Amino acid sequence: MHRVTLYSKPGCHLCDVVEQVIGFVRTQRPFEFEKRNILDDPATFEKYQHEIPVICVNGREIARHQLTAAALENALDRSA
């Protein structure tokens, strides 16, 4: 099963929008979802502090800052 990971932090309005897109796509097709707070790990914070939200499918980055349902669906298809 695919895994979609969202790197975000509390109070990030762009992250909230992307999480809604992920939630919508998840109603259409199954995948595991993991939300990671960049504030929980100094290395992750250093890497993504000005780039969130960052979205990965199966460990491969597919988008930063914004995400459409079509882009996530395409990434899931390519990871098959």
Q: What is the pLDDT of residue 75?
A: 97
> Residue 71: which domain range?
3-78
For residues 76 and 57, give the distance between their C-alpha atoms in angstroms, rounded to a whole number.
7
In the chain, the amino acid numbered 59 is: G
Residue 60: left (phi > 0), alpha (psi -120 to 50), or beta?
beta
Q: Write the pLDDT tens digit of every residue in 20-62.
A: 999 999 999 999 999 999 999 999 999 999 999 999 999 999 9
For residues 43 and 19, give the distance between their C-alpha atoms in angstroms, rounded to a whole number.
22
Question: What pTM, to 2 d.p., does this model score?
Answer: 0.95
Question: 17: pLDDT confidence band, cut at 50, 70 and 90?
Answer: very high
Instruction: Tell me the C-alpha to C-alpha distance, in Å, between residue 70 and each of 1, 5, 29.
Output: 19, 17, 12
Q: What is the pLDDT of residue 71?
A: 98
> Contact 8/37 with Cβ under 8 angstroms?
yes
CATH number at residue 47: 3.40.30.10
Q: What is the pLDDT of residue 58?
A: 97
Structural domain count of the chain: 1
Judge whether residue 80 has pLDDT over 80.
Answer: no
